[in-house]
Structure 1
Amino acid sequence: MAAQGLQVDINSDMGEGFGAYRLGDDAAILDIVSSANVACGFHAGDPEIMAATFSMARDKGVAVGAHPSFADLWGFGRRIIPHSMDEIERLVAYQIGAAQALSAYAGHPIRYVKAHGALGNLTQTDRGVAEAVTRAVKAVDPGLICLSIALGFQDRIARDAGLTVRSEIFADRAYTEEGFLVSRK
């Protein structure tokens, strides 16, 4: 029996090529998702890929969000790169700004922010990182939705900061008994 008022968003990471390299078939995936997390240039993506992804999503009626990460092209954003909390805040704000600019250019503004890879995982387990990402979202645009891993620090911290929060789970990943993601390694 379905819960009354339950909404399910099918979401995918997009725009994850760089330069001449492409990863995945974004056009085909956009036919089956309702929202797309667009890489912001630090783990993948570049201005051309970002603009094209935002345009394709607009044409298919798919909501878009910024998908900021650590500056880790080599490791696809899956490695923890040590930063101070102030540096993480600026790193995220910078990438949100890039996504806002290119999504506006495509006529399809971003609606949310979802941290990628190691940064996203840390928002679940590290209070300081969750606070830094939340501060960045709130400072850049408090109207943006914070898409966060369910039961993690960011889920609570962003709500407490007055942001609209949507919680996510990964159907294709394993979880610990405490509700945290199990490492892919």
Structure 2
Amino acid sequence: MQRKIDRGRDEEAVRRFVERLALDLVATGIPRMPARIYAALLVADEGRGTAADLAEFLRVSPAAVSGAVRYLTQVALITREREPGARRDHYRVTADQWYQAILQQDALITQWERTLREGLEAVGEDSQAAARLRETWEFLQLMREEIPILLEKWQARLAALRARG
């Protein structure tokens, strides 16, 4: 991942940062190894690395990397690439990783809304359970309505950021 030596880069400080960011991500519900791998890819100069690169940088087994990258690709935080003729996959954080992850969550929220409607029918309209389910459904409805607006704002901000160079 970090093959060339960058004299301005403090590798130990980078490793500490990776572990701190991973802990922050774990606090949001991301499993520990995927959090560490995601953080490691973020700090890689090219934003990418092989499973062997990641295992070496994080000082873990390649098997630990395998399950973690599978998780990260499923939640759209990284992509898997293979160069023509190459035997190894490369894992990359993309410029729009959070945008793609939020789009994926939007579809999940829609599914949750459907399931909550089924729950409302099952528990009956006039119960405390129904009130909780209805409140949860309303919150998710608001989230689903606001996500496209938020993503449009992000696209505008990203365009301005890229225009500044």
Higher-strand-fraction structure: 1
Higher-helix-fraction structure: 2
Based on CA coordinates, which of the two structures has the bigger radius of gyration? 2
Normalization by structure 2: what TM-score? 0.32
Normalization by structure 1: what TM-score? 0.30
